[in-house]
Amino acid sequence: MFNLNPLTIVVRAIVLLVTIPVHEAAHAWTADRLGDPTARYRGRLTLNPMAHFDPMGAVAMILTGIGWARPVPINPMNFEDSKKGMAVSAAAGPVSNLMLAAASLIVTKIILYVSYLAGFGTVASTLYTVFYTMCTINISLAIFNLMPFPPFDGSRIFNYFLSDRLYFKIMEYEQQIFMVVFGLLVLGVFDAPLSFLNGIIFTLLDKLTFFVDVIFRFIF
């Protein structure tokens, strides 16, 4: 997990500046569309990385490839259905990661096909690394955020199926749960299951972006 050669650091920094803002802005945009303007009023409906920056989350991204930003403020009382609004707003983040992963994979495939014809030089190799890493990290972030533990997005989705009493009981221990999960992440406990799930999602996205392969094989 701590594969920190210079190129890895640079690529993860690029991913941090692109992926985290999209993820958080997706939360803010969805909540705003569902009737809660809180995030918009607080300047979080933006792709400016500094609006979402969390120092510890940024360091985690550089060290492990998985990070986070400051939570987007959402007031569930502004939703017509508070539990549904929270669940849908939470799901928007991981969905945005999967969309970024798919877009990155498309670019990765294009780079591979063009490089096959023109030669796989230093620029092409670097771009391939950036977009391939963008794809895999976004898949990891989507899976990681869907874990049903607070403060991850999956806990808000899971809450839709829980009673309010049980949900708020769990949320009392949100900070402790987060520290335990983060510690397990640093220790590499999640490496194997994340790798397994990453492989499944990557294969699915590869099949969904098959049209790139078809187009280039038809042309060349």
Return per-residue pLDDT of the chain as tens, 220 residues. 555 788 888 888 988 899 999 999 999 999 999 999 999 999 999 999 999 999 988 988 888 777 888 999 999 999 999 989 999 999 999 999 999 999 999 999 999 998 887 777 788 888 998 999 999 999 989 998 998 877 789 988 988 888 878 877 777 777 788 788 778 877 878 788 888 999 999 999 999 999 999 998 888 7
Q: How many CB atoms lie within 10 A of CB 208?
A: 12
Long-range contacts at 197-200 (CB < 8 A, ≥ 24 apart)? 197/143, 198/136, 198/139, 198/140, 198/143
Cα-based distances in Å from 179 to 158, 174, 186: 20, 9, 11
| Residue from 24, 80, 172, 174 carrying the catalytic annotation | 24
Q: Which residues contact 185 (CB under 8 A, 6 or more apart)?
A: 60, 64, 66
Tokens encoding 71: 């939570």
Active site (annotated) includes residue 172: no
Q: Which residues contact 153 (CB under 8 A, 6 or more apart)?
A: 27, 90, 91, 93, 94, 145, 146
30 lies in some domain: yes
Total domains present in the chain? 1
- Residue identified by tokens 């899976």 is 143
Give the range of the structural domain holding residue 119, as residue numbers without chain letter.
Answer: 6-219
CA–CA dist 192, 150 (Å, integer): 21
1 lies in some domain: no
111 lies in some domain: yes
pLDDT at 1: 52
138 lies in some domain: yes
64 lies in some domain: yes
38 lies in some domain: yes
pLDDT at 200: 96
- Residue identified by tokens 């955020």 is 145
For the whole prediction, is pTM greater than 0.95? no
pLDDT at 81: 92
CA–CA dist 201, 60 (Å, integer): 23
Q: Which residues contact 194 (CB under 8 A, 6 or more apart)?
A: 140, 143, 144
CA–chain centroid gap for 40, Å, is 21
CA–CA dist 26, 87 (Å, integer): 13
pLDDT at 2: 55
Residue 36 burial by CB count (10 A; 0-12/13-18/19+): exposed, middle or buried?
Answer: buried
Residue 22: name the closest of 95, 84, 86, 76 by CA.
Answer: 95
